[in-house]
Amino acid sequence: MCDHARPLRCLVEIETVTKKFIFACLALGLSACASTQVTKVQNLSPSADAPYDNILVIALFKSYDARVYLEKEIVAKLAELGVTAVASTSKMTPKVPASRETFLAMVDELGSDAVLITRLVEHDADVKVKDMRPKSTYNITPTYYYNVWNVELEEYVQPQYIEFKHSIVLATQLYSASTREPVWAIESNSKIVDTFDRPGGMTVIRDEAKAITSHLSRDGAL
């Protein structure tokens, strides 16, 4: 951890971790405490040819691993609802450009009737270096004097740790494959706190996927 002997190195480490943390969260689910709030941006269009039952799922992030993890989780949630869905990353490699032409070719190949696209639109981060609470132990022994005791105090101060607080906003749009027009959209805002003593899990990924698919189903898109 950081110490006063190397403050510049500490700042560099914190800055580097901050820039990478968003993609680590999405790709590996490094979240100790997370909550997701959904805001409706576009209700299901009256002209939508819903319900959709063959959906191409696309996540657009800089990190290919992040795309893989989120797409797989959304596909799994859609499958639980009885909807056929395919992750775009299952049909391509990291070297294939994430372009309109690439995805339109997938739609034609799969015969998809809709395309679900999720993008990262906002990321705010707060990183703090915090001190651990010292741990104390007492060793009490008697002396030769009446009612007089010898007390030895040992105090162990643990190294500093870094606490991350992040706000991640994802925008998700559903497109009709036949008209190529957006027919539904939401934004989901996740609040994340990650520290040394709260290990990560798949909380962020699962919360986002569940929020997206449950709202799709509730709004009559599936």
Query: What would the pLDDT profile of 90-134 be if each residue is shown by its tens digit?
Result: 999 999 999 999 999 999 999 999 999 999 888 776 766 666 666
Q: Cα(115)–Cα(54) distance, rounded to whole angstroms?
A: 9
User: 149: pLDDT confidence band, cut at 50, 70 and 90?
Assistant: confident
Distance CA 78, CA 72 (A): 10
Q: Note the pLDDT of residue 205.
A: 80
Residue 23's nearest CA partner among 125, 173, 174 is 125
The tens digit of pLDDT for each residue in 206-222 reads 888 999 999 999 999 99
pTM: 0.70
Residue ranges and CATH numbers for the domains of the chain are 7-131+159-218 (3.30.160.150)
> Helix 7-28 crosses helix 203-218 at what angle (to 10 degrees)?
40
Q: Between residues 50 and 151, which one has the greater pLDDT?
A: 50
* pLDDT over 50 (residue 148): yes
Residue 39 has pLDDT above 60, yes or no: yes
Q: Are 201 and 33 in contact (CB under 8 A)?
A: no
Mean pLDDT of the chain: 79
